[in-house]
Structure 1
Amino acid sequence: MTAITITSQPRTRLRLTARGRRVVAGIVALPLSAFVAAAVVSGGSALASRDVGADPASFSTVVVGAGESLWAVAERVAPASDPRDVIDDIARLNALDGVSVSAGQELAIPAQYAADGQ
């Protein structure tokens, strides 16, 4: 019988060069950047309004009087409701950053409160 000798080849270790690392990083970054770009394009319209779930046509308007605060407007348009809730709803509907209003400013009032004060 003849003996067969099998010699194993030495294993080579995979070494990633600087160029290879850049290629791998690019392959990983490409789908990630495509996802971010798609999210920005499709999600932009959702950020246009702070009001969630309200019908845009269901409001009336009032004009802020001289020396009147948003608290006073809330008490005037909805005397039977908690002014804090009314202020929150008015601020959301008008996309106000704070509670500062100026004389002559026209504010949209949600329909649920417009019927109370008029």
Structure 2
Amino acid sequence: MRLTRRGRAVLVFVVAVLALGVLWLGTRAVSLAADGVVVPSHAGLPWVVVGQGDTLWSIADAVSPGDDADTVVREIMRINGLSSSLIHTGTRLYVPGGEIRLAE
């Protein structure tokens, strides 16, 4: 099989784009590590599945009744790596340890 001049150029371009993508991902991981961002371990943490109409605040109230809901919401977001409070039905969320009391 012979590659034409155009075929070789396309092949070099594709390999270069892939190499740059791998390089970017590597530098991104190093940057996150340098910033102290640690991917949390979910080992041993209880989890809930988001139901229709659930919000982070309703989940926070259910898993830590009596605690400050905003603090628990921030902890849930941190544990799950969420950048916003938007959650979707069916999503599994890890929650701070404790007894879980969600309404069915």
1:18-38 CA-partner distances (Å, limit 9, x unpaired): xxxxxxxxxxxxxxxxxxxxx
Q: Is the contact made by 2:42 and 2:94 (CA closer than 8 Å) also made in structure 1? A: no
Partner of 1:98: 84
Instruction: For residue 116 of structure 1, report the CA deviation from its aligned partner.
Output: 4.0
Partner of 1:78: 64
Partner of 1:59: 45
- Higher Cα Rg: structure 1 or 2? 1
The two structures have a TM-score, normalised by structure 1, of 0.52
Identity %: 30
Tell me: CA distance 1:74–1:42, structure 2 relative to 1, closer, same or farther (3 Å): closer
TM-align CA RMSD:
3.0
1:37-62 CA-partner distances (Å, limit 9, x unpaired): xxx48834616x8458x664241110
Letter in 2 for 1:63: V
Instruction: For residue 68 of structure 1, report the CA deviation from its aligned partner.
Output: 0.9
Tell me: CA distance 1:82–1:65, structure 2 relative to 1, closer, same or farther (3 Å): same
Instruction: For residue 63 of structure 1, report the CA deviation from its aligned partner.
Output: 0.8
The two structures have a TM-score, normalised by structure 2, of 0.58
Letter in 1 for 2:33: A
How many residues of Structure 1 are paired with residues of Structure 2 in the alignment?
75
Instruction: For residue 75 of structure 1, report the CA deviation from its aligned partner.
Output: 0.7
Mapped partners of 1:89, 1:76: distance in 2: 14
